[in-house]
Structure 1
Amino acid sequence: MYGEFPTNDDDKPDTEGWRPPAASLSTRRISLRSKGSARPSIVCPKDRVIHCESDLERRVALCLLAHSSVVDLVEQPAPVAYTDHDGRTRTHTFDFIATLRDGNRLAVVVKPSTKVATQGTHRLLESLAKQVPASVATRFQVMTEKHVPADRLHDATLINSARLNSDPALDEKLRVIAAGIDGAVTIERLVEASGLGADAYRAVVRLIADGTLGRRERGRISQNTLVELAAQKASEGSR
């Protein structure tokens, strides 16, 4: 019967201190009408929504955001005008513009690998690279599902999740603990040594992402992953 369960103010979720993420910087509205692809959204470490026009775009966005050279990512930036190979003036909207740590701006076109050749994507990028001003982009790349294999996507998802709840003071505590351990240690042991539980695990993931901690082997980040200070690893490698 309607109204059977009374409202209890004590059961209301505690939203004190919470605020919604900032709005997307996309310059065009993404159509939600599609029979063949998803329209996912993610929240980036800058606490801003990024809208994607396909699941492949979502995977590419996560991997770009997790890369240590990327400091910002904007989807669907303002369209740029260019002259095609037939002399006609056209406009193109990149899927992403990634701002890199070295100051370069990477324009990204996302396509399934089966469509890259048939749709002339590389030829398009060659034209754009010659005509787009450096204020928009200095580097250009096509990214397909081959750039986002399962292990890389797993780590990227983990890294972005950990960065959403950044804690510089906790990160520094874990860095100091790692510096006091001779050689490589599993993430599980490093977390146990901190006594800080799940928050310490996320801090270790952030330290791996920013290059403070290096991994001894490839594969997905897990509790069994061997890590050590990157400076220590480099020193051993030079011997």
Structure 2
Amino acid sequence: MSNHFRDLCHHLDALPDEPSGIILATPSQAVRDVPAASSAHCTAHSVLGDGDGVRMQHESHLEIDSSYVLNSVRNVANMQEQVIFHFGWDRKKLKKHIFDVVVTLISGERIAFAVKPEVRLYSSNKQSFVEHMQVVTWWAYETNFVDEVRILTEVDLDPITLYNAKVMAAVRAVDIDADNAAQHALRSLPVGGGSSLRELTSAIGLGARGYRALIRLLRTGEARLQAKERISPDAVIVNARDEKLIPNLPDRPVLVAEPQPALTVV
């Protein structure tokens, strides 16, 4: 046995039985995996959610950005990508549509999203994507697959919202001491009262750890930005303890499943 192999075995024997440090994200919940590569657009993976997070797959840059934004919505409880939906009259020859993302709200309602560039909504010599989605939506409602179907394009992505969504996703890891200190600093403000992230970070006294913890409070809805602006040290955040699910706040609206429209399938 070589000295190198002996040293390696000794090192492995010394490892603790329980893992410590970094914990890998939960595996993707996608019903199908996206292609490993594509010549027409990008394919990628991200880690979203809270804490250790959940790995998600994306088939375009627009899908990545849309998922970041949906991940930041205050009343989204769960997200699943690449969800297969079968539909049609002939049970032996069902058609298939793959929804890019399906979100479940804390109310239990489900909203399915089709993510598509604006230019491709109507660019077809046969049935346009919008016409296809009208049929898919009718079946999705008829079978109670989801409560609502929406199409997302780049037009729906607000640059400030997207920037903040990426910042919140980057600081998802829990830091108990810093999180407790950030909550204490925020709750020292009157409900509706605010202070800059710089001032609150200084009051916490943990440097970057405190700054990240304050941003996590924005993610959970315990705090909110006073105005719609990019998250930065000079941004003022507000103690929002009693307004977690008030719709149409300036920084982060909530999702509401709209009543199903009257549709006719052809």
Q: TM-score, normalised by structure 1?
A: 0.81
Residues 1:43 and 2:47 aligned together: yes
The whole-number CA distance in structure 1 between the counterparts of 2:196 and 2:242 is 15
The offset of 1:82, in angstroms, is 3.1
Aligned to 2:231: 221
The offset of 1:231, in angstroms, is 5.0
Q: How does 1:161-176 map to 2 (within 5 A)?
A: 161-163=170-172, 165-167=173-175, 170-176=178-184
The whole-number CA distance in structure 1 between the counterparts of 2:210 and 2:224 is 16
The whole-number CA distance in structure 2 between the counterparts of 1:180 and 1:20 is 35
The whole-number CA distance in structure 1 between the counterparts of 2:27 and 2:226 is 39
The offset of 1:185, in angstroms, is 1.1
Identity among equivalent positions (%) equals: 23
Residues 1:204 and 2:214 aligned together: yes
Shift in alpha-carbon separation, 1:184–1:140, aligned structure 2, 3 A = same
Residues 1:108 and 2:116 aligned together: no
The residue identity in structure 2 corresponding to 1:99 is: T
The offset of 1:64, in angstroms, is 0.7
Provide the secondary structure at the position in 1 that maps to 2:63: helix
Shift in alpha-carbon separation, 1:108–1:232, aligned structure 2, 3 A = closer
The whole-number CA distance in structure 2 between the counterparts of 1:230 and 1:121 is 41
Q: For the Cα contact (< 8 Å) 1:60–1:143, is it kept in 2?
A: yes
The residue identity in structure 2 corresponding to 1:23 is: P
Q: For the Cα contact (< 8 Å) 2:99–2:113, is it kept in 1?
A: yes
The whole-number CA distance in structure 2 between the counterparts of 1:205 and 1:224 is 13
The offset of 1:192, in angstroms, is 0.5
Q: For the Cα contact (< 8 Å) 2:45–2:55, is it kept in 1?
A: yes
Kindly report the root-mean-square deviation, in angstroms, between the aligned alpha carbons of the 2 structures: 2.8
The offset of 1:67, in angstroms, is 1.0
The offset of 1:152, in angstroms, is 1.6
Aligned to 1:126: 134
Relative to structure 2, which stretch is displaced further, 165-174 or 103-112? 165-174
Q: For the Cα contact (< 8 Å) 1:83–1:127, is it kept in 2?
A: no
Q: TM-score, normalised by structure 2?
A: 0.73
The offset of 1:89, in angstroms, is 4.8
Task: State the structure with bigger RCO (CA 8 A, min sep 6), 1 or 2.
Answer: 2
The residue identity in structure 2 corresponding to 1:124 is: H
Aligned to 1:94: 99
Provide the secondary structure at the position in 2 that maps to 1:41: strand
The whole-number CA distance in structure 1 between the counterparts of 2:28 and 2:49 is 13
The offset of 1:83, in angstroms, is 5.5
The whole-number CA distance in structure 1 between the counterparts of 2:78 and 2:187 is 30
The whole-number CA distance in structure 2 between the counterparts of 1:168 and 1:82 is 50
The residue identity in structure 2 corresponding to 1:58 is: I
Aligned to 1:55: 61
Aligned to 1:82: 88
Aligned equivalent of 1:21, options 4, 11, 25? 25
The whole-number CA distance in structure 1 between the counterparts of 2:132 and 2:187 is 49
Q: For the Cα contact (< 8 Å) 1:82–1:127, is it kept in 2?
A: no
| Matched pairs, number | 219
Aligned equivalent of 2:147, options 120, 138, 146? 138
Structure 1: 5+ residue stretches without partners: 1-9, 235-239
The whole-number CA distance in structure 2 between the counterparts of 1:146 and 1:53 is 18
The residue identity in structure 1 corresponding to 2:101 is: F
The whole-number CA distance in structure 2 between the counterparts of 1:121 and 1:138 is 20
Structure 2: 5+ residue stretches without partners: 1-10, 12-18, 247-266
